[in-house]
């Protein structure tokens, strides 16, 4: 059995596209889903908050129990849990990639953005660093 972990919004519109994308992209059988309303808003601003600590505890269960090697964090268009502009959510997503990559250095961390059509767009810090050079 192979697993990956995703920190996803509670919004039901994003669940299946994200799970399907991760299974196809990483060839995993199962996706452990940690849900929170607007997780990029929480993690990008308050990593010491009780909500953030709860997210981290649940992620660590996935890593320790299921040996997950890949982690993803999700932001999406029209998020009720993080009602800010798409551009601000994308900035928050980049901050989350930095935070999660530092906190879990042995894992591959991928950011996912879902647009107004629920299409999944992936980015990683490695891709961002290549773009900067």
For every residue of 7-46, DSSP letters joined together read: EEES-HHHHHHHHHHHHHHH--SEEEEEEESSHHHHHHH-
From residue 72, how far is each of 36, 55, 106 by CA, in Å?
A: 14, 13, 13
Mean per-residue pLDDT of the chain? 92
Q: Please answer whether residues 72 and 5 qualify as being in contact, where contact means their C-beta atoms are separated by less than 8 angstroms.
A: yes
Q: Look up the CATH architecture of domain 3-127.
A: 3-Layer(aba) Sandwich (3.40)
Model confidence, pTM: 0.91
Higher pLDDT, 96 or 129: 96
Q: Mean of the pLDDT values across residues 43-55?
A: 91
Q: What are the residue ranges spanned by the domains of the chain?
A: 3-127
Residue 46 has pLDDT above 70, yes or no: yes
The secondary structure element, H or E, covering residue 70 is strand 70-76
Residue 35 has pLDDT above 50, yes or no: yes
- Give me the pLDDT at residue 126, please: 53
- Those residues whose C-beta lies under 8 Å from the C-beta of residue 69, and which sit 6 or more positions away, are 4, 106, 107, 108
């Amino acid at each position: 059995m192979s697993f990956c972990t995703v920190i996803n919004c509670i919004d039901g519109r994003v669940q299946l596209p994200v799970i399907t994308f991760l299974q196809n992209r990483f060839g995993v059988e199962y996706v452990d889903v940690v849900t929170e309303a607007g997780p990029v808003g929480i993690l990008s601003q308050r990593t010491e908050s009780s909500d953030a600590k709860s997210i981290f505890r649940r992620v660590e269960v996935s890593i320790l129990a299921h040996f997950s090697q890949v982690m993803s964090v999700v932001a999406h268009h029209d998020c009720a849990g993080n009602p800010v502009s798409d551009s601000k959510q994308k900035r928050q997503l980049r901050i989350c990639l930095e935070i999660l990559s530092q906190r879990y250095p042995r894992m591959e961390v991928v950011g996912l953005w879902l647009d107004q059509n629920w299409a999944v767009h992936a980015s990683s810090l490695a891709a961002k660093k290549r773009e900067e050079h």
